[in-house]
């Protein structure tokens, strides 16, 4: 069973809905993203979604558009988030 499936199964067994939080990778900064993700988990987030920034996020809301545009083209940001993924996913 994947971690995502396990989380949904746990939520169902607990009889509650889950909190899914979304952030744009690298926003406000690469190290800031990692810290923000830890804070979201501490605040009760059940699932974290980290979005890859891209240059034309037309279908997104204004907050996600701003974060994506600020980091679009900064591929080192995405690589850094993948490098730090284990620091987040093991908690």
Cβ count near 25 (within 10 Å): 21
**In the annotation, is 74 catalytic?**
no
Helices marked H in 1-91 — which ranges? Answer: 3-14, 30-42, 62-71, 75-89
Which of these is catalytic: 4, 49, 59, 73?
Answer: 49
Out of 60, 64, 69, 74, pick the active-site residue. 60
Six-digit token string for 9: 């199964």
Catalytic residue list: 49, 60
């Amino acid at each position: 069973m994947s971690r995502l499936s396990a989380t949904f199964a746990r939520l169902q067994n607990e009889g509650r809905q889950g909190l899914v939080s979304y952030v744009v990778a690298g926003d406000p900064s690469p190290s800031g993203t990692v810290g923000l993700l830890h804070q979201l988990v501490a605040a009760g987030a059940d699932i974290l979604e980290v979005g890859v920034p891209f240059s034309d996020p037309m279908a997104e809301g204004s907050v996600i558009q701003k974060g994506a545009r600020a980091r679009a083209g900064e591929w080192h940001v995405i690589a850094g988030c993948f490098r730090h993924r284990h620091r987040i996913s093991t908690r």
